[in-house]
Amino acid sequence: MSKSLVIVESPAKATTLKKFLGKGFDVKASVGHIRDLPKKKLAVDVDNNFEPEYVTIRGKGKIIAELRNAAKKAEKIYLAPDPDREGEAIAYHIESIIKDQTKGEIYRVLFNEITKTAVQAALERPRKIDMNLFEAQQARRVLDRLVGYKISPLLWKKVQRGLSAGRVQSVALRLICEREREIQAFKPEEYWSVWSALEGKLPPAFEAKLNKIGEKKAEVRNEEQANAILSDLQDASFTVTDVQKKERKKNPYPPFITSTLQQEASRKLRFSPKKTMTIAQMLYEGIKLGEEGSVGLITYMRTDSTRVSDEAIQGARGFVEKNFGKEFLPSEPNVYKTKKSAQDAHEAIRPTYMDKPPAEIKEYLTKDQLALYELIWNRFISSQMAPAKIDQTGVDIQAKTYIFRATGATITFPGFMKIYVEEEEETKEANGQDATATGAEKTIILPPLAVGEKLKIQKITPKQHFTQPPPRFSEAMLIRELEEKGIGRPSTYAATVGLIKDREYVFDTNRRLFPSELGFLVSDQLVENFPDILDAAFTANMENQLDLVEEGKAGWVETLKAFYVPFKKDLEKAETAMKDFKKEGIETDEVCEKCGQKMLIKRGRFGKFMACAGYPECKTTKKIQSDGATESSSAPKAPDIPTDEKCPACGAGMVIKSGRFGKFIACSKYPDCKTTKPIGTGIKCPEEGCGGEIVEKRSRAGRSFYGCNKYPACKFASWNKPVPEKCPQCRHPFLVERHKEGEKYFACPQKECKFRKEVEEEAAE
């Protein structure tokens, strides 16, 4: 035995590590988990302390053989999967399959960034497997398996095949459904604002909003009241009664944690959480920078701590002083508080090297990699910059008993805003009001004004508004809501959002999440029959219990027992109490053509259909047309959803429609204009020089396939659904989804590349 063996979970990370470790080390990759619960059975002995039955993941036999063979030759073995619960579980299972192959010591090592300094430091202070950390992951895995494998069959039996429930996904779905019902029940209320266009002695002209009438806040309910105010102001003089000036400081934002990175990447870059985490994983594990080789560009991307190392802070401060000057550098480093509920094991997400700004390495990055790296870089550098200084001026103007107010602001010192301003587009609409009605959101440039100055009136304009319902969740807003309620953990958010979309419980249109009819149905059944699991506070408390297991303050078996006893009772009750939609159906206004009884909407193996309530005596059935024409008011046709696109044929707006083969984009002037196009996957065509996008299409036989939207100029086509994840072995721009023996996995579409990735079981999340 001569070499030390380092085992990581990713081939890309292995490539980066080899550069640092030298000839005395052999580096192998497990390619994720090697053991897990089997997919086709519960595999948890609920009568024997929830003992899990782990099996080797299909396709991992060759990798395990390589790891065991390498372990025989190693004097020391360092297990280096990611530094979190999931990584600890991977390390535990690797140790279990290699410990009988070596007489050498087996250690666990952790590093938050893949740099030479961090890796060497980790190897100098190895430890043993942290059983508390492993048991916390095992408790979560078993807990999610119990929820998923106990409730999902009920949904198959009572509602429709292929459905799933989960501890986190079902609560997320409930939030979306409840928000949609709030919107449906919302009744807008009319109100008016009154604006005056004014001129002082010096330009520019400006607008002021009616703020008070006498001593009371101005509340104008209707057009009649607005016109009465206009009439009363006909001969009024406008005089400045108060001018207030103050300097306001705007502090920089903390560096990213997982949830804030996903939210800001969604708002600024239009990335889905899943895409954000996929690209962040690439940046963390290593990007080839020419002759320098593979370099890890950011720290570990699954964290909820804003803590940053002293070395990194000093590096950022040095960069700020060198590139922006001392005036942009605060006298002391900025320190940010981490939430009490956060796991403080890792630093915030930041660049690993201050000598690799985005502009200098952009030639080695894809467009999306560069965009995310720039976002992380700018956020981190700005977090160690001085506050921005803003001169804010508020002016009160009196006309009779009416007080108008104008607010102006000037940035006198940009500070951190020189390189970073957080996107705030969604916070404005969340207040339930028309943004044009709030004076605070209409900041303007004001001329020099003095108390007592008489102003010239140009015009007075009343504006009608209506209160707005709460906005539908975007993916970023949903993640923020889950985080604020303590539901799930940063590492689960992307999978949770992706899962409820994949199950077609919700659909994403114009970056907003709409619950489907199926989503409503599933959510309602789960809320009614499993109130605890669907309760946000209950789910958040379970996260706290898992944290206690990790800290060694609670046993994982006791935690599961406390959950399972009431859960088992709910299950037994739901077996008989849950409504059987397959059998009973949903009553419609349509009557059977043969016997005159009501027709029911039922769900079968192939989706919805209509059947006579007199079954089995009357076996009349009817297909539900793609346009929803036969559906009752209880199951209305899905509305067309507007998009920002214009029809290339007639210039009218394009809308998203639902047809028998799913959603597609069509001209809003149909049937006068019959222009249609498929909805894109967001993945570029791999054919060199094409520049097209892969879209879902239908063959003449009605089978789905994926082809280039530039057909017939480009003939690219594939039966397999593309996945926006780069192959870690050959760097092909995407993987494809494949199925074998009822199991799903991702694979590289290149025949010469044998990369295959088991899809982690998500049904229980």
Do the beta carbons of residue 236 and residue 391 sit within 8 Å?
no
Least confident of 68-82, 394-408, 574-588: 574-588
Question: Catalytic site residue 711?
Answer: no
DSSP state of 156: H
Residue 356 CA to residue 118 CA, distance in Å, equals: 17
- In this prediction, residues 9-23 reach a mean pLDDT of 87
- In this prediction, residues 315-332 reach a mean pLDDT of 95
Domains along the sequence of the chain with CATH: 3-129 (3.40.50.140), 138-186+471-577 (1.10.460.10), 190-251+388-466 (2.70.20.10), 258-383 (1.10.290.10), 581-623 (no CATH)
**Which DSSP string corresponds to 607-676?**
EEEEEETTTTT---EEEPPTT-TT--TTSPPPPPEEEEEE-TTT-PEEEEEEETTEEEEEETTTTT---E
Residue 461 CA to residue 226 CA, distance in Å, equals: 9
Res 566 pLDDT > 70:
yes
pTM: 0.75
pLDDT tens, residue by residue, 170-223 = 999 999 999 999 999 999 999 999 999 999 999 999 999 999 999 999 999 999
pLDDT band at 44, cuts 50/70/90? Answer: very high
Cβ-count burial 412-442 (b if 16+ within 10 Å, e if not): ebbbbbbbbeeeeebeeeeeebbeebebeeb
Give the pLDDT score at 633: 33
Closest CA to 692 of 654, 728, 660, 722: 722
Upstream peptide bond of 204 is cis (omega within 30 degrees of 0): yes
pLDDT band at 631, cuts 50/70/90? Answer: very low
Tell me the residue type at 542. M
Average confidence score pLDDT of the chain? 87
Percent of the chain's residues with pLDDT above 70: 91
Give the pLDDT score at 210: 97
Give the pLDDT score at 460: 96
Res 635 pLDDT > 80:
no
Ramachandran region, residue 338 (left: φ > 0; alpha: ψ -120 to 50; beta: rest): beta
Do the beta carbons of residue 89 and residue 138 sit within 8 Å?
yes
pLDDT band at 702, cuts 50/70/90? Answer: low
Residue 191 CA to residue 180 CA, distance in Å, equals: 24
pLDDT tens, residue by residue, 260-290 = 999 999 989 989 898 999 999 999 999 999 9
pLDDT tens, residue by residue, 369-380 = 999 999 999 999
- In this prediction, residues 7-17 reach a mean pLDDT of 89
Tokens of 731: 């760097």
pLDDT band at 428, cuts 50/70/90? Answer: very low
Report the greatest alpha carbon distance in the chain. 99
pLDDT band at 3, cuts 50/70/90? Answer: confident
Q: Which of 78, 149, 191, 300 is catalytic?
A: 300
pLDDT tens, residue by residue, 720-759 = 889 888 888 888 889 998 876 556 788 898 888 888 877 6
Q: Give the phi and the psi of residue 753 in degrees, each rounded to 5.
A: -100, 130
Residue 641 CA to residue 618 CA, distance in Å, equals: 38
Residue 733 CA to residue 166 CA, distance in Å, equals: 31
pLDDT tens, residue by residue, 453-500 = 999 999 999 999 999 999 999 998 999 999 889 888 877 888 899 889
pLDDT band at 628, cuts 50/70/90? Answer: very low
Do the beta carbons of residue 533 and residue 567 sit within 8 Å?
yes
Q: What is the CA radius of gyration of the chain?
A: 30
